[in-house]
Structure 1
Amino acid sequence: MWSKVVETVQQFPADLAVSSLISVDVTTAMPLMTRLALRLPVKKAREARDALTTKVRGALSWESILASAPLPATHPRPQTDDLAIIQYTSGTTGTPKGAALTHRNLLANAAQAQAWVPSITRGNGCVVYAVLPMFHAYGLTLCLTFAMSMGARLVLFPKFDPDLVLEVTKKHPATLLPLVPPIAERLLSASKEKGIPLTGTQVAISGAMALAHELVVPFEQASGGYLVEGYGLSECSPVLMANPVAENRVAGTVGLPLPGTECRVVDPENPTEDVPAGSAGELVVRGPQVFSGYYGKPEETDAVFVDGWFRTGDIVTIDEAGFVRIVDRIKELIITGGFNVAPTEVEGVLRQHPDVEDAAVVGLPSDHSGEEVVAAVVIDGGKDVDVEAIREFARGILTPYKVPRRIFVVDELPTSLIGKVLRRQVREKLISLTSSDG
């Protein structure tokens, strides 16, 4: 693993402890002149070096592994149907679960991605930018597995930094640039501000949230390439479909199913029954990239499969040409910056605050992140409370992107006859409030 995260893993509690760690110093693979520049005794070089690597204790180095004797031919090796990774996701029900993905799933999705872009040159002529986190299924497949399968030059970025990406673009423009809309916006803005063109960026694929046509046009004008939208889920390795890299793509849709991917649109209340052609219904899929189940959770696995078809939890329509349009989500997950946030998890944390009697968490539209996490809370006894203090409390427990960006204090939450909070009504009320504020 990257040397910068070794210490974090070493600090895991005993029940999650990792006994053997292999540390990788990414600077050792850089060109000689770059390595020498990083060693210069100047502030900028020191900051760059600190962002890329750090000293590691208690772990094996990658170099020592390479220097050791090769494994004998008889040594056991992974088979295609062996478990490759456990990709944790909130899934369609909100509770984090481990999607068990096999080597076959990952290899199939990389092959499907290759078939989707037959115009891309294999080998040294192919350059893939890794600006997405690789612990996310999207970054894992399109920034890593696909790049390796193409024999591509994979450009690793420690984090998304528009200036750093533009510097690389000068010498090695991206053949494939997987991103999310906020990254495309920031990159385009920085390109105009710095006067560094995006020219040469051939294919940018956007996922995780809706891609606005108003962003596509200027991005493609600046790059001379394509910016197209795709769709997937962690349970599907993750890519299920994408718009063609051609003039016949359809704006507002997530494109066509990748080769080998089968899709149906069914009645959400009776998922064995297809809806009439062109009607809205739940998307169910099957294909070589679709997982076989959640790790150690057979009941949750059974709940998302119907006769071998995986229920995505998304409401879609499919037009006569086969293009898929996302209409709504059955699940109440919030997708912010490409990451899933389960409202129930955030609500549980907020209710732990001594002044919070009840809470409802929803996603409100955001120009920058697709949706932003927002909470409505009922205060115990009508006390005066500092909502920023509640946010700070949540920040001490939750991953940063799950912390509500805004908290509204309300007298009560709308509930059903059985007492279930009606999040859709909460969302509509908060949208109304924020609209009137504007």
Structure 2
Amino acid sequence: MKTRFTMPDDTSIAYERDFRAPAAEVWRAYTEPEIVRSWLLGPDPETEFPVFPVCEMDMRTGGSFRWVWVDAAGELGIAGEVLEADERHRVTATMGVPTTYRALVQHPDFLACDLSSLKAAIVGGGMLDPRATELLRSHGVPVRQGYGLTEAAPNVSLARDEGDDGTAGRPYPHVDVALLVDGRVQSAPGRGELLVRGPAVFQGYFRDPEATAEARCGSWLRTGDLVERDAAGRIRVVDRMKDIVRSGAESIAPIEVELALLEHPAVAEAAVAGVPSERWGEEVVAWLVLEGVATEEDLRGHLDGRIADFKHPKRFVVVDGIPRTSTGKPLRRALAASLEQQGAVS
């Protein structure tokens, strides 16, 4: 039996494949084409966007944007095609997740491609590691880190220049942000759960009032991301709050360890998660895909001076590939659960 329902003409629904089943976010349509376009790239009437892997309703701005949709699951295999398309069509801006950009810089044709038309390589879905960032910039590609989530349609913030390096930049026009600290909303600099408010934020989860209520804090959207915000309004993402590893009396952000590991020339991919430990409650484990030789001693020496000793993984697990969502995020809890099932926890 089919159920019919009606919605206003300015409403749209987006379905999530990875995190909710079934899941849909509902928006009232809101676009400011010229503001978004000029804020990103300046007044360029010929801008084209090959977007990969999935940016959903990211740039519903009309105009001359061109979209190319590529699933993250196939990004490594089609990196050469993406590079060729960027060069042939003289693309001026790209959007992608960190794994996508890593696949591009690792491709043997990367250095031979003429990417001089690119004005911005925008990163979302996670922080791009410094090694990949430097490889792109050394080839003349301006890298700009961003932050967003589907429920915010999804753009929230963007780094404007290299002065914002190490952060996800500052909020887009018409986007308000705040921090939830000890149950209180604060607009001052600090560390807490990021809250977002604005006309592009979703109305709620379709036919799921309980989930919608959990995602709200008054007029604010709760992102579930732990961030630090400085006096200039820049946002530095610490990690997903539910992914933070609680080891003894310390809290460890997996993404910090992952980014440090990815600076090692032999590490192609990295994922970090906490697994149960009788002594520590949880301990840090790192899963690595290697493209060269690296011993455990090499890896520990590499991490010395980059991150605190207590953040070093207790174990390194070398794998052929890291399971990821369709948007390229590592499935950390799946990796941890697999290790537990194998009985390899302490």
**TM-score scaled by structure 2?**
0.66
| Residues 303, 155 of structure 1: alpha-carbon distance in 2 compared, 3 angstrom cutoff | closer
1:150 maps to 63
The answer to whether 1:257 aligns with 2:171 is yes
1:88 maps to which residue? 16
- Residue 241 of structure 1 pairs with residue 157 of structure 2: yes
Unaligned runs of 5+ in 2: 246-253, 263-267, 278-322
What is the aligned partner in structure 2 of residue 128 from structure 1? 49
Q: What is residue 317 of structure 1 aligned with on the other side? A: 228
Which AA in structure 1 matches 2:98? Answer: P
- Aligned residue runs from structure 1 range 38-437, under 5 A: 79-80=9-10, 82=11, 84-88=12-16, 96=21, 98-105=23-30, 107=31, 113-122=36-45, 125-133=46-54, 138-142=55-59, 145-146=60-61, 149-155=62-68, 159-160=74-75, 161-190=78-107, 192=109, 195-222=112-139, 224-244=140-160, 246-248=161-163, 250-267=164-181, 269-270=182-183, 272-274=184-186, 277-332=188-243, 365=258, 367=262, 371=271, 404=334, 407-409=338-340
Which string of whole-angstrom CA distances, capped at 9 and with x for unpartnered residues, describes residues 259-304 of structure 1? 001111121x41x3427x3321111110011111111111221122
Alpha-carbon displacement from aligned partner over 1:35-66 (angstroms, at most 9, x marks no partner):
xxxxxxxxxxxxxxxxxxxxxxxxxxxxxxxx
Structure 1 residues 278, 89: closer, same or farther in 2, change over 3 A?
Answer: farther
Q: State how far apart, in whole Å, the 2-side matches of 1:259 and 1:140 are.
A: 17
1:65-87 per-position Cα deviation (integer Å, ceiling 9, x unaligned): xxxxxxxxxxx99632x2x1133
Q: Distance in 2 between matches of 1:370 and 1:180?
A: 14
User: Residue type of the partner of 2:9?
Assistant: Q
Contact 1:282 1:316 in 2 (8 A): yes
Say whether the 8 Å CA contact 1:89–1:99 is kept in structure 2.
no
SS in 1 for 2:236: strand
- Distance in 2 separating the partners of 1:194 and 1:286: 41
Q: How does 1:9-24 map to 2 (within 5 A)?
A: none
**Does structure 1 retain, via aligned residues, the 8 Å contact 2:53–2:100?**
no
Q: 1:112 to 1:304 in 2, by over 3 A?
A: farther
Contact 1:97 1:295 in 2 (8 A): no
Equivalents in 2 of 1:290, 1:233: separation in Å?
10
Deviation at 1:100, TM superposition (A): 2.5
Q: CA deviation at 1:308?
A: 0.8
Q: Deviation per CA, 1:359-402: give whole Å up to 9, x if none.
A: xxx9984745663689779xxxxxxxxxxxxxxxxx9xx99985
RMSD of aligned Cα (Å) = 4.0
Q: Conserved in 1, the CA contact under 8 Å of 2:26 and 2:205? A: no
Partners of 1:112 and 1:301 lie apart in 2 by: 29
Deviations 1:226-284 (A, max 9, x none): 1111011111111111111x344x111111001001111121x41x3427x33211111
In structure 2, relative to structure 1, the CA distance for the partners of 1:317 and 1:299 (3 Å cut) is same
Q: CA deviation at 1:173?
A: 2.4
User: What is the distance in 1 between the residues matched to 2:94 and 2:148?
Assistant: 17
Aligned length: 274
- CA deviations over 1:297-317 (Å, ceiling 9, x no partner): 112211221221111111222
Contact 1:242/1:255, CA 8 A, preserved across alignment = yes
Judging changes above 3 Å, is the alpha-carbon distance between structure 1 residues 209 and 90 closer, same or farther for their aligned structure 2 residues? same
Q: TM-score, normalised by structure 1?
A: 0.53
Q: Higher Cα Rg: structure 1 or 2?
A: 1
CA contact under 8 A between 2:128 and 2:145: conserved in structure 1?
A: yes
* Structure number with higher helix proportion: 1
Cα distance in 1 between the residues matched to 2:27 and 2:210: 20
Shift of 1:220: 1.6
